Amino acid sequence: MKMSKSLKNYTTIRAVLSENEWTARSLRICFLLMPWQDGIEVTDELMKAVVGWEGKLNNFFLKSLDLWKHSAPKTDASEELDIADQPLLAALEKAKADVDAALCDSFNTPAVMRILSDLVTESNSAELLSGQTVISLAKWVTRIITIFGLDPEGDLGNPDRIGWSGLDIPMLAKPYVYLASQLRDQVRTLACSGSVDHIAIAKLADGITTAESLPVTESSEPYD
């Protein structure tokens, strides 16, 4: 199998992976973002799309896993979710139907990738969501990316799995990562509304606890 890097310039998948410019997952994402029946020309725009899509899913899975680990079990299985959750739950059901239609339409994976990205964006933009709703969404997204082969350790027999392999981050780094993720989501929401500017970003950053205010651990103290 070959992939076109530019016009009249072809290379094999093995050669691309050996250059360490792409991981196996990012290369699969690249293929899924393009129609299966077309040749692939790797451009800067396509590489940015791959990095952006993978980064968005990474961020979403990290937040979902954090919610999953810290959410309290429900005491009443029949308890109704808040009104704030209903739009996202409706979007999830629509996404399921749209993914089914796209895959039945000559295995239209680019459409599926857009559906997943849009669903994650809607989740990031929603406010006052219950952890249960985000976790339900994350489990379904995990199932789709596992079907697409984006997680070599994926197990379709495990309905509770969230995310893909390689998400673990060092404990000491987690506070910094979560703060950065929070700021990134807020900036993305502003950008989508068309009201983003330097002043707005500065206000968002001021509203989030900075890394400097986090407690300094023994391992992070400077050497004398």
Q: What is the pLDDT along the chain (224 residues), one digit of tens a residue?
A: 445 444 456 677 777 777 777 888 999 999 999 998 887 777 888 889 999 999 999 999 998 998 888 765 544 433 456 787 899 999 999 999 999 999 999 999 999 999 999 999 999 888 878 888 999 999 999 999 999 999 988 889 998 999 998 876 555 555 666 667 667 767 767 776 776 677 877 777 777 655 445 444 444 444 33
Q: What is the pTM of this model?
A: 0.69
* Domain co-membership, 27 together with 129: yes
Residue 156 covered by a domain: no
* Domain co-membership, 14 together with 94: yes
* Domain co-membership, 34 together with 143: yes
* Domain co-membership, 37 together with 98: yes
CA-based nearest residue to 61, from 159, 161, 180, 172: 161
* Domain co-membership, 62 together with 136: yes
Output the pLDDT for position 116.
97
Output the pLDDT for position 9.
63
Residue 123 covered by a domain: yes
CB-based contact 23:60 (threshold 8 Å): no
Residue 158 covered by a domain: no
CB-based contact 108:102 (threshold 8 Å): yes
Question: Among residues 147, 179, 200, which one ends one of the domains?
Answer: 147
Output the pLDDT for position 46.
87
* Domain co-membership, 42 together with 98: yes
Question: Whole-angstrom Cα distance, residue 42 to residue 29?
Answer: 12
Residue 31 covered by a domain: yes
* Domain co-membership, 136 together with 180: no
Output the pLDDT for position 219.
40
Residue 19 covered by a domain: yes
Question: Total domain count for the chain?
Answer: 2
Output the pLDDT for position 181.
65
CA-based nearest residue to 100, from 88, 110, 91, 108: 108
Boundaries of domain holding 129: 2-72+83-147
* Domain co-membership, 183 together with 140: no
Question: Among residues 93, 112, 147, which one ends one of the domains?
Answer: 147
Contacts of 84 (CB under 8 A, 6+ apart): 126, 127, 128, 129, 130
